[in-house]
Amino acid sequence: MTPETASPPTPAASTPTPVRADERIASIDALRGFALLGILAINIMVFGAAQWEPSLTGEAAGLNVTVWAVQLVMIEGTMRCLFSMLYGAGVILLTARIERRAGGEEAADVYFRRNLWLLVFGVVHSYLLVYLGDILFFYGFVALVLFPFRKLSPRTLLILGSLILAVGVISPTRFYFAYQETKAAVTAAEAAEEAGRAITEEQKEARKRWERWQRRDPEGRQERIDAFRSGYGTIFQFVIPEQVEAHSRGMYQTWFCDAAGMMLLGMAFYRLGIFSGRRSSRFYLLLGGTGYALGLALRGYMTCQALAHHFDLLWRVIPWFTEGVGRLAVALGHLSVMMLLCQLGRPRWLLASLAAVGRMALTNYLGHTVIASFVFFGFGFGLYGRLEFYELFYVVFAIWIFQLIVSPLWLRSFRFGPAEWLWRSLTYWRWQPMRSGRRPTS
Amino acid sequence: MTDPANALSHPQEQGPLLRPVAPEARIAALDILRGFAVLAVLGANIELFALPLAASSQDPRVAGGAGDLNTMIWAAGKLLLDGPPVALAAMLFGAGLMLLTQRATSPAARAQLPDLYHRRLVWLLLFGLAHAYLCLAISDRLFPFAIAGLVLFPFRKLSPRSLLLIGLLVLAVGAVDPVWTYVEGTRAKAEATAAKAAAAAGEELTAEQQEAKTTWEATLRRSQGDAAAIENDVDTYRSGYLAILKHVASLMPGLQSVSIYKRLFWELAGMMFLGMGLFRLGVLSGQRTARFYLHLAGAGYATGLAVSGYLTYQVIAHDFDVLWRDWAETYYPLGLLAISLGHLGVVMLLAKARWLRRPLEPVAAVGRMALSNYVGQTVIALCVFAGFGLGLFAILERVRLYGVVLGIWTLQLVASPLWLRHFRFGPGEWLWRSLAYWQRLPIKSAIPAREVDP
């Protein structure tokens, strides 16, 4: 147990209050900012209708494939991994701080109120802001489950986290077998057609299913494109059934294990002092080197296979089996680079900007949705499905630069980002002071 | 998980920690209510244990025998048992959080409270998974109970009024999905009817019209019980454990996610909030007057039987038409609330009657080992209905199914008091508490006095 949690709560219980700016750990903020910007490089594929495939928007050649491959090896999953781990670390940070000041019961109250509001934010983000890739709902729910795990030893946390990530492989395994079966039926149908025989009803259905899964069924894709190029009302109606599935079946089969496993690992890493840059440079060099070597080799191989098999669906599932290790390894590489930069303290402007982005992570995350919706959806510029794969990253760079500039400027005048301010005000059920320089009332 | 004794560094200075509540300190009315709820739950679940899924979720006439008597039994079960027992158990679950909060009087106990409560939920979640998959229970409610229980904690100090209000609100959200289903169904039927009329007039149908027609026809076929699915159910449940497990594992992800998200969460969490409020008002623990419970029962049954009775009657009169069923579903939360309150009133009247104290002891004993008995029902039912047991799946008529129910009730009413004469907890309760407190609790009845709650 770390000293924070071992110390008894102060008997003269004061009311719990939001963290003061001087209490924040800069390296964690910078890492969070980094991960948050990284997440946009993935989510842009949802906004831009690219759906993890270079062939849907533009040709699967040249720059499109290069960008796709780099993105798949270096970014995919790693930013979500870092973000989940940081959320796990945040669980300990928040509860330990309030337990110290006001006691265990108060800490739990703040914790659960906070995560229930996050759940509500997730619902708003998913339905009202029509974003088809929200993580807030999952984080809010998973955090409710993980509360009693926060005081476990790093060893136990690492074991449990790995175990949950292993359970997460069950679902892709089922998909794998379903895909394999369907693909066999499709192949059989092709053979039958070539031989001039009629294909069965089942084979027809298998073919339809296969096309849908490949996201190549032209009708379904056109329907989606038409919907997102229309007005808000149409898009809203279009996303409802998909959000219901994502929040329920998606959570059960995929996202719970994905988030819970990484959060538990994050708690362990926080306990081990890895996020706060307290480890030696040697440690980070070693960690990063091993992580990159292992992760890039594994994911590089998978990506080459996917290319060699022309983005075959089976090769989109197979990487899921090793992703627990693969994305974690690359994420640890990113983490080490960030920690080394934080230890160096350079480039100063970038670290300071990233920390500012990280301090208003929720605002910036929702900001991605608001900005990208106006760029891509019908009620804005309607570029949905119109940009080639590599062109999507122009939008990404523009948003990055915007947020890297605006976030530090905002925090010069205000204590919190607007969404953070709302979240905290709701959690503590009292308006929090917004202007910087003033202490919250307690 | 951490040992609760180590969770704080100076427990002695901060007063006693929470311990499992001693048998003497239990509130009799709560145990009796829980006992009735657990027994009644079997009356609803027996259909899921013994008949193809379509018989309980779609058209009851596809299995379980024809004739007026079987239909009447179905209707009575639908009205009184399909939902309310689980709802009462959910109310008691909410009351459980309030009890735990009340018992945490010392600073040390209060600091321990959130961890204890949520550790119990995490273990319940795992029990739910084990019950659902390993015990092959598509009827499982442990898993959704744990999910709904996760949102309660920060609400425990609200006023009874706010709790009741939140409960009603949450319950009402549960009507969104049925209304949506009904509206979609009406639209689909209208489109199909228009397409049919066009076809009858000799017009060439567009692709959309054709699809509307075939989709609606498929819905109608399914609503009367898809023959292939029913046959598959019967074959599967009459075969070995692994075949049933495979079948259950294919259904479970949907049952434990989509069903909870759309309906069960709202129903259970709503009832839990109501239970928290009602406990604070002394309603659940039998502290109100007999008059109060009489009024509660009267008002509850009057509303519930009027609304649900009318709708059930219409569903039967319209030959289990799918739209009538969907329409009836939209009133489900209202009917559920009313009938549950009716049951609550009656049970509390019974629990308050002095002369019934002794006869109701077995019911209280069933309630004290609710988890064990709940899982026990599943295990016994499997032995009776599954292929690896007696293999009576889809063989008995509804009338006879309730004979099996009576048998299991008798067994549990006899076995539970006997067990509790020798042991402090039921086996399931002992395991659950031991895991939640993360220490091997004594299960034998003779316990040293210092471990008894003050």
Cα-only R_g, chain A: 23
Query: For B318-358, where are the alpha helices, taking DSSP H only?
Result: 322-330, 332-352
Output the CA torsion sign for A46, A51, A56, A59.
positive
A334 touches B: beta carbon within 8 Å: no
* pLDDT tens string B109-120: 888 899 999 999
Buried b (16+ CB within 10 A) or exposed e, A249-280: bbbbbbbbbbbbbbbbbbbbbbbbebbbbebe
Do B113 and A249 lie within an 8 Å CB cutoff? no
- Looking at residue B166, what is its pLDDT? 98
Residue A100 contacts B where some CB pair is shorter than 8 Å: no
> Could you tell me how many CB contacts below 8 A there are between chain A and chain B?
85
> Phi first, then psi: what are they for A98, rounded to 5°?
-75, -35
Q: Which ipTM did the prediction report?
A: 0.90
pLDDT at A111: 96
* Residue B294 reports pLDDT greater than 60: yes
Whole-number pLDDT of residue B4:
41
Write the DSSP string, A200-251: PHHHHHHHHHHHHHTT--HHHHHHHHHHHTS-HHHHHHHHHHHHHHIIIIII
pLDDT at B1 over 50: no
Tokens 């890493």 -> residue? A269
Query: What does the alpha-carbon distance between residue A59 and residue B154 come to, in Å, rounded to a whole number?
Result: 53
Residue A160's closest chain B neighbor by CA? B1
What is the nearest CA distance from B105 to chain A, expressed in angstroms?
A: 12
| Domain regions of chain B by residue span | 4-451
Distance CA A1, CA A271 (A): 8
- Beta carbons within 8 Å of B10's beta carbon, 6+ residues apart: A8, B108
Taking the Cβ of residue B256 and every Cβ of chain A, the question of whether any pair is shorter than 8 Å is answered with yes
Low-confidence ranges of chain A (pLDDT < 50): 1-13, 22-23, 438, 440-442
Give residue B227's pLDDT: 83
Distance from the Cα of residue A328 to its chain's centroid: 13
pLDDT at B344 over 70: yes
Residue identified by tokens 């089976």 is A314
In the structure, what pLDDT confidence band is assigned to residue B69 with cuts at 50, 70 and 90?
Answer: confident
Asked, as a colleague might, if the bond just before A9 is cis with ω within 30 of 0, I would say no
Overall average pLDDT of the B184-205 stretch: 89
> CA A123 → CA A139, A140, A234, A239, A243, distances in Å?
12, 10, 18, 12, 9
Amino acid at B195: A
Return the pLDDT at A12. Answer: 40
The residue in chain B having the minimum alpha-carbon distance to the alpha carbon of residue A174 is: B250
- Rounded CA separation B24/B35 (Å): 17
Residue B357 has pLDDT above 90, yes or no: no
- Residue B178 clears pLDDT 50, i.e. is over it: yes
The answer for residues whose C-beta is within 8 angstroms of residue A146's C-beta and 6 or more apart is A88, A91, A260, A263, A264, A267
**pTM value?**
0.91
- Is B181 a residue whose pLDDT tops 50? yes
Residues of B in contact with A116 (CB under 8 A): 151, 154
Residue B409 pLDDT greater than 90, yes or no: yes
- Does the CB of A147 have a partner CB in chain B at under 8 Å? yes
* Lowest mean pLDDT, pick from A303-317, B263-277, B356-370: A303-317
Would you call B360 helix, strand, or coil by DSSP? coil
Which residues face A435 on adjacent strands? A414
Phi, psi of A2 (to 5 degrees): -80, 160
**Could you give the residue ranges of the DSSP H alpha helices within A229-312?**
232-245, 256-271, 281-308
- The partner residue sitting opposite A8, judged by closest CB among B8, B115, B256, is B8
Question: Does B256 or A312 have the greater pLDDT score?
Answer: B256
Give whole-number Cα distances, B195 to A257, B23, B218, B223, in Å.
46, 67, 15, 20
The whole-number pLDDT of residue B14 equals 66
Residue B107 has pLDDT above 70, yes or no: yes
| Domain range list for chain A | 19-169+217-428
Q: How far away is chain A from the Cα of B348, in angstroms, using its nearest Cα?
A: 33
Confidence of residue B453 (pLDDT cuts 50, 70, 90): very low
